[in-house]
Chains A and B, each alone.
Chain A
Amino acid sequence: MSDKFVVGYDGSVAARRALEFAVARAKAQGGTIVLAHVLEWSPYSFLTPTELEERHKRRREEMARAETAVLAPVVAEVTDSGVPVESVIRYGNIADILGKIATEKGAVQIVVGREGYSALEARIFGSVAGTLVQTAPVPCTIVP
């Protein structure tokens, strides 16, 4: 069975580095890529009534934009490089959802990039990479 690599991808430069790293590994081992795009979302946030009314519409728009603008170009690119790839779009806490996707897909590894915050910034704003290291159900590679 081929090894699956879950890559957290949000279109940023750091995510791009993580993807390149994962594609190289997948190619070497004959593995595949799961491109995961997670939109930060909490069901316990507060919305105005107008936001409630438009939520379903906005969600549809956000998913369509993520699909066409963020994922589609890189999916094509990775496919062209000869590595099989599938993509997933989810809502939730980023680190939490990446872990869930890895479990669901039976992945061997999660690969994410990091922005290079200082320890203080990470403490204040939270860091996906840091949280992932603590919570990931499979080995986790953080690409600087």
Chain B
Amino acid sequence: MNKNTFSAALAAAGLALAAVPALAQEQAGSLDDRVNQVFADSTGWFVSLIFSNFPGTSFPWIVAWLVVGATVFTLYFGFIQFRAVGHSIALVKGDYSDPDDAGEVSHFQALATALSGTVGLGNIAGVAVAVSIGGPGATFWMILAGLMGMASKFTECTLGVKYRNEYPDGRVSGGPMYYLSKGFAERGLPGGKILAVLFSIFCILGALGGGNMFQANQAHQQITGVVGEYPGWITGLIFAGLVFAVIVGGIRSIARVTEKVVPFMGLLYVGTALIIIAMNYHLIGWAFGQIFAGAFTGLGVAGGMVGALIQGFKRAAFSNEAGVGSAAIAHSAVKTKEPITEGFVSLLEPFIDTVVVCTMTALVIIITQQLVTDPETGLYLLNEAGNGVKTVGDTSGVGLTSAAFGSAIGWFPFVLAIAVVLFAFSTMITWSYYGLKAWTYLFGEGDAKELVFKVIFCVFVVIGAAAQLGPVIDFSDAAIFAMAVVNIIGLYFLMPIVRRELDSYMSRLRSGEIMKFK
């Protein structure tokens, strides 16, 4: 190569390099679209498989899967969620805790941490979606699903504690991947290991998606709703920085502040809802009338009674995660000699999450009359798209909840925005842990391996906040529900073990062998 051609080549290369950014800029929009398209094409089959309907109906089989599971556990354990509530509350209060175990993880702490992972956007945005598509009747089915889900939680959290790992250095952790592998081996059943690996893969995907990108995305939308539009990556970087500081930097103060503020926000939310309901006390009877009537007739809602039922069941499952297996990870570190006690405690979780908090949201939306009815027939009017009930301000999701609270208390939408952001953050912290546990199950423990996952997790925070990645979020929701497919198969095979624990515990409780310390 002579000097001339060399410089010509250099110049050409320079030109090409200079052209790259311009080209990239030109194609940025289409590049994003292309990434979306490629992702959607390669994962779409998985999403449509998980969310596909029974042939000839609009009923997604995954919802039936969760509800059938909850029903089986409810019947198998003889309506444990209604029989044991008193004992559950006594356990949470610490009546049965050995004072010598002070300083260990209490039942209350395990429950509070698990709740911080589930109470969040599902209770605020999800319920609004359910009520605006399925009408007030969806609330009835949502409560029913919440009550049934208590039995699923009971089963999975008992197993979580029974088959947890107690490491020589004193750490305690567990979850579905451990009860699937250890429990199946103990019963001499094949396939436990395969289910555990599948569960872990779905759990990692669910943690990055529903437990991370979805949260970051919704938090960003809330912030822009208050302060105005700005690029999502800024929110993403701030969130990622905070998450990084907590999970990699071990800066506990941030987590500790969140863990203290979140329960306060939850109480403030429920308290405000109660005040709004009390202010309209004369409408309470009417609201419940709407809920019951809507549950069985549909009151003119698109899809009628079945539409209300699907929405109620679906949002309840999204919100309380009963049967998904995630909570079993958080509950497994509790200090107890009897695994079943954590089952009793965990069944309060869907109750608080769905039967109390979700119902509050629904009641506020109904009572403040955000849903438009026809004054002549009393039936609900459909929105222009025809896929849901017409709302006063044409709002949906968080916007509808916000409008409902705002119509009674003008400044509450700001508090709600803060609450959503905090809920999103605490859900991310909790799910980063769930994902990490699945990761270490697959790849083994070790600082370097764990750091890889934590960094990936933080990167996904930025992606989630910055991009409108519909297909990615669909995929991650699908992954969370895929966890439930694997987990509930396992629970069917392992429920006799829980039954044995339950019978033994109840007989010792009755004979007075297990006594209160207080």
Contact = CB atoms under 8 A, between A and B. Distances in A.
B330 A49 contact: yes
Interface string B105-119: 110111011001100
Contacts of B256: 46, 48
A129 to B, nearest CB: 22
B173 A44 contact: no
Interface in A62-117: 62-63, 90-92
Interface string A34-76: 0000010101111111111111111111110000000000000
Contact of B110 (A39, A45, A52, A63): A52
Main secondary structure of the interface of B (DSSP, over half): helix
Contact of A43 (B106, B113, B170, B171): B106
Interface residues of B, number: 39
A55 B104 contact: yes
B260 A55 contact: no
Nearest to B170: A57
A62 to B, nearest CB: 7
A46 B260 contact: yes
Interface in B162-208: 166, 169-173
B102 A48 contact: no
Contact of B429 (A48, A57, A60): A48
A61 B169 CA distance: 10
Contacts of A55: 103-105, 172, 333, 335
Contacts of B99: 92
B290 interface: no
A47 B109 contact: yes
A101 B103 CA distance: 16
Interface string B146-175: 000000000000000000001001111100
Nearest to B330: A49
A45 B259 CA distance: 9
B433 interface: yes
Nearest to A38: B102
Nearest to A58: B170
Contacts of B171: 53-54, 56-57
B97 A43 contact: yes
Contact of A52 (B102, B113, B247, B434): B113
B246 interface: yes
B172 A56 contact: yes
A45 B102 contact: no
Contacts of A53: 171-173, 333, 433
A59 B103 contact: yes
Contact of B430 (A49, A59, A60, A62): A49
Interface in B234-248: 246-247
A49 B328 CA distance: 12
B94 interface: yes
CB-CB nearest 4 A-B residue pairs = A57-B170, A91-B103, A43-B106, A91-B102
Interface of B: 94, 97, 99, 102-106, 108-110, 112-113, 116-117, 166, 169-173, 246-247, 252, 255-256, 259-260, 262-263, 329-330, 333-335, 429-430, 433-434
Interface of A: 39, 41, 43-63, 90-92
Given A52-B330, A57-B169, 10 more contacts: A39-B103, A43-B94, A47-B259, A49-B117, A49-B430, A50-B433, A52-B113, A53-B172, A55-B104, A56-B104
13 contacts: A43-B102, A43-B106, A43-B108, A47-B105, A47-B113, A48-B255, A52-B105, A53-B172, A55-B172, A56-B172, A61-B170, A90-B102, A91-B103
